[in-house]
């Protein structure tokens, strides 16, 4: 696409950019290219070329520019869950599957400011437990707590009971999250533009277990039948909720998150760089 950006919201990682030097560089690049840079009001005095803004004003920017790794980008997606903006991740972390450009690529950032970028829409999942709904871009994990040995639960897809399992837990991942925890548990790598949900068991007692890929239209139901102590629902590694015996979790496809992409083959290039 070519649609020049007028306003960006900058979300820094205060651990990796404690002196705001990286944030200042990004704000200066925006300023020099006629783009208004916004920053949280509390950091405004530390960033010369950015204007202080409220969360609502940040939410309404054309782009939300996140400085950090995948974890920082996930935090921003949760914070601005109702934004219409696209997220641009600039990698100051390690793996960077969600981020688009590296910290030493100012030319690419300037091209994005000029509107020379595309947008990739990534599926989220909504997990409902005891009347509360939690949204994940990467994954939702039902797992044993620190004192439990294993948990027992059943899995249904639509109206069909799929299996019952005794395991350390189960990962319900989006294609975006297929290269995260799900991959470590033996799950498949799935192109993030595919609309599907991946079920992967964690250390199951049944050695014949396999991951299952479910179309987004199907509702998934997890029922905890036996847990020594409590089980835990973990959402994107950021939200933890206790789960008790008899609790039922329902998982449905959620809305899509827009991520800035500069290449149609981004995912496969990143796979080659990071995994192969």
The tally of CA atoms less than 13 A away on the side-chain side of residue 232 is: 14
Residue with tokens 């599926």: 123
Which residues are catalytic, by number?
70
**DSSP characters for 180-230?**
THHHHTTPPP--TTS-EEEEEEES-S-TT---EEEETTS-EEEEEEEESS-
SS3 content of the chain, % helix, strand, coil (to 5): 20, 40, 40
CB within 8 Å of 273: residues ≥ 6 apart? none
Q: Which helix (H) or strand (E) holds 270?
A: helix 266-274
- Answer yes or no: are the C-beta atoms of 30 and 37 closer than 8 Å: yes
Q: Which residue has the tokens 């039902």?
A: 142
Contact criterion met (CB below 8 Å) for 231 and 148: yes
Query: CA-CA distance, 5 to 8, in Å (whole number)?
Result: 7
Distance CA(230)–CA(24), nearest Å, equals 45
> Within its chain, how far is the Cα of 128 from the centroid?
18
């Amino acid at each position: 696409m070519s649609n020049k950006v007028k306003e960006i919201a900058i979300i820094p990682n205060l651990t990796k950019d404690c002196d705001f030097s990286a944030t200042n560089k990004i704000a200066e690049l925006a300023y020099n290219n006629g783009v208004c840079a916004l920053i949280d009001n509390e950091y405004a005095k530390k960033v010369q070329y950015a204007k202080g803004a409220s969360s609502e004003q940040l939410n309404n920017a054309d782009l939300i520019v996140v400085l950090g790794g995948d974890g920082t980008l996930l935090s921003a997606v949760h914070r601005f869950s109702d934004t219409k903006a696209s997220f641009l991740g600039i990698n100051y972390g390690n793996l960077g599957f969600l981020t688009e450009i590296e910290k030493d690529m100012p030319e690419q950032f300037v091209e994005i400011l000029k509107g020379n970028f595309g947008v990739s829409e990534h599926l989220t999942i909504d997990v409902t437990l005891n009347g509360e709904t939690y949204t994940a871009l990467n994954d939702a994990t039902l797992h044993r707590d620190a004192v439990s040995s294993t948990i027992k639960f059943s899995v249904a897809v639509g109206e069909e009971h799929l299996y019952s399992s005794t395991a350390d837990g189960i990962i319900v991942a989006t294609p975006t999250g297929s290269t995260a925890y799900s991959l470590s548990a033996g799950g498949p790598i799935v192109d993030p533009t595919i609309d599907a949900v991946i079920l992967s068991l964690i250390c199951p007692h049944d050695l014949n277990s396999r991951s299952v890929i479910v179309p987004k239209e199907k509702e998934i139901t997890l029922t905890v039948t036996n847990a020594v102590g409590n089980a835990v629902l973990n959402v994107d590694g950021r939200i933890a909720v206790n789960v008790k015996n008899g609790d039922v979790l329902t998982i449905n496809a959620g809305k899509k998150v827009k991520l800035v992409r500069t290449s149609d083959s981004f995912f496969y290039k990143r796979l080659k760089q990071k995994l192969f």
